[in-house]
Chains A and B, each alone.
Chain A
Amino acid sequence: MEWNGYTGNILNVDLTGEKISIMKQNPDDLKQFIGGFGMNCKLGAERIKPETDPFSPENFVIVGVGPLVGTITPGASRTAGISKFPATGAIANSCGSMSFGFHLKQAGYDHIIISGKAEKPTYLQIIDDHVELNDAKDMWGSDIVETTDFLWKKYGSSGVIAIGQAGENMVRGALTLIDKTSTFGRGGIAAVMGYKNLKAIVTQGTKGVSIAHPKEFNEAYKKLFERIRNYPQRQSWHEVGMLRSLPMGLMLTAQGQKKKARQVSDRFYLKKIKKRRIACPSCPMADKDILEIKEGEHCGLIQYTSSAINPFLMFTLKGLNTYDEVIKIFDLANRYGLDSLTLTALFELITRLHEQGVITEEMLGLKWKSDYETLAEVTEMIAYRKGLGEVLAGGWKEIGKKFNIEDKMLQVKGLDVIFDPRFMRLGTMEFEQVVNVKGAHVASGGSPTYATSGGSIERFKTHFKRMGIPDPAIKRIFKPLKEEMMVNVPRLTRYSEDWYALLTSMGLCARAQMNRFFSMENVTNFYNAVTGFDRSQEDLRIAAERSWNLLKLLNAREGFSRKDDKFPKEWFNNLKYGNNELQLHDFFGTTVITPTIANQLLNDYYDERGWNLEDGLPSQKKVKELELTPYM
């Protein structure tokens, strides 16, 4: 058949047998699961056997790009991945951006299925029809930046997924970077690649991507492109990037760290730190950063990042006093392939528990001080699993047991919390951290509680319609547990996840500044115009829901259930924030969330999903309705 949008090809790579083959896509599967994230779930479900050790040849890394990737559809550059993650033991999704997905599609592939274990360090080259496993001996031991630069020098402009020393040494939470910029695989995809002796994947394509209905596509594109062109905030996003999205200065000021707050201001960033803005292919809202330290000890350091917020979040750590120290530590983490968010959480916890005498220097085996030198040293120790680094590289579960601090850790299922709702209040992104199969992750929780924080109910309604939330569900979302809470965040989270699943299956950006331009209507129009399929909005909404439920079923097979969807105990204690004591509140700050209320919130979420309240898993009825019975 003639393929448009899709290439119709799935690349099978068996590292053990050094075998490469191509499998054809089945159009019926695409009707059920769309592509990208959704098809990854199906391919994973058929291959990853229950209770597979993440570090075994039987684990898979499956990478996929949706049908809109490779076209000019604004923001269509996402790469999705699925694997069994070593940090948590969950089968989960991860996403990244930059040019990998685009190049893969141009080379002629929708998915890569990687299995087995290479005998020696290897990298996968996918250049049009030239797919090869190449020797990576010279690259092994290099960091991500060095590896990517090496491959770019060799192949020219191409998409690169690379691991650093942390991945090679199987640090359980190690991640990869795409094009040395975009994080991909929080929770350990890099460690799985490290186990498999797979240092990198490089791809480049020249085949071009065709679309089925140019007239309809042009119409949809022109309409969306002009809306974005005329968006009043576009220039400001271009100027300061992701700093627009989180009040870093406010956070630091509230913590009593005013001197630092000045160093994260827009003015300071523009004058002292920003080198250049870069974008994913097809993106009209460029927000990736190249940073540069222009003075002092680290003068000349160039740092690529998918969000300047990530280094600045490390600024919340005591003892990191200047922006250049923060960027330097962040750069180290990035090069090794360590998760800067996890490092920040880890250093904050150890420092606090050390001050309280819960963790002693004898237990740590080193003199602990929250300062630049110690943090840099420990970052390296983790990447190379040296001394204390051996324990910390084992992930939160191992750390909790070793130091007997499980109740004090801000983590869910073995992944650390990104947004603390005691500071941010409980929006969908915060709540999602409790129920996401991956553990505490915020990617799929995007909703008006994030995009229009403090916004009016009317604006909420506009966004709900845009996200394709059915009218009866909107009514339920406006019936929270208590009237004064105004919005039922758990019920809304279900639709945020489904909306995310849709965008990620298409290959579309889910960041708020692009997300706001997408609707069920225009996404459906783009999909049909590109692929030539004739799918209704409802078909696509159900396909997204189906994918999310399938991912849940895969984790039910692993033994996960309601018992694992736990609010971290520490959330119920006050958070000391500067001179303030912050309590866990609902999104509008009217109600203190107690353990009893938290339990009721979980009930609402499961109920909205059509899952059993007892075990928090998809009910038989829901499984049948979504035609997922074969995956039970």
Chain B
Amino acid sequence: MSSKTRRKIITHEEQCVGCRICQLWCSYQFTGKFSFSKAFIKIEEPYGLEPKISFLEDCTTCGQCADHCLYGALEKIEEGM
């Protein structure tokens, strides 16, 4: 990411299937372990009718969660500043 752009992760919760690959990749990258609870991205009610996706403050918006989402629930956007 250049210094003149800002990265955002846009969520499309209706596309989320609850596979939680995003959380697994995130926790692995930042802690070296696979875990839902250690990830900076949170999925509430992954098997509910309306899952909720949110990000913790520590999230660096590295965008790797979006790179690993195969279902279109996470989208990485680079915005000019």
Residues of A whose CB lies within 8 Å of any CB of B are 70-72, 98-99, 106, 157, 179, 181, 206-211, 214, 225, 228-229, 234, 238, 275-284, 286, 290, 302, 304
Contacts and interface: CB of A to CB of B under 8 A. Distances in A.
A208 B47 contact: no
18 contacts: A72-B25, A72-B34, A99-B47, A106-B36, A106-B37, A157-B36, A157-B43, A206-B36, A206-B38, A208-B31, A208-B33, A209-B34, A277-B71, A279-B19, A282-B20, A282-B21, A286-B71, A304-B47
B18 interface: yes
Contacts of A290: 49
A72 B24 contact: yes
Contacts of A98: 47
A282 B24 contact: yes
A275 B70 CA distance: 19
Interface string B36-73: 11100001111101000000000000000000101100
B71 A71 contact: no
Given A72-B24, A72-B34, A206-B35, A302 B47 contact: no
B64 to A, nearest CB: 12
Nearest to A276: B49
Nearest to A292: B49
B32 interface: yes
Contact of A281 (B24, B27, B37): B24
Nearest to B14: A276
Contacts of A302: 49
B49 A275 contact: yes
**Which 3 interchain pairs have the tightest Cβ spacing?**
A208-B33, A208-B35, A279-B19
Contacts of B46: 99, 157, 278
A289 to B, nearest CB: 11
Contacts of B19: 279-284, 286
Interface residues on B, range: 20 to 34
B18 A210 contact: no
B10 interface: no
B32 A284 contact: no
Nearest to A148: B47
A181 B44 CA distance: 18
A208 B34 contact: yes
A281 B32 contact: no
Contacts of A71: 24, 34
B47 A181 contact: yes
A276 B50 CA distance: 9
B17 A210 contact: no
A279 B18 contact: yes
A277 B17 contact: yes
B39 to A, nearest CB: 10
A210 B32 contact: yes
Contacts of A211: 34
B49 to A, nearest CB: 7
A156 B20 CA distance: 15
B36 A234 contact: no
B27 A279 contact: no
Nearest to B25: A72
Nearest to A235: B70
Nearest to B70: A284
Contacts of A304: 47
Contacts of B35: 106, 206-209
Q: Of residues B19, B24, B35, B38, which shows the largest number of chain A Cβ atoms within 10 Å of its Cβ?
A: B19
B44 A214 contact: no
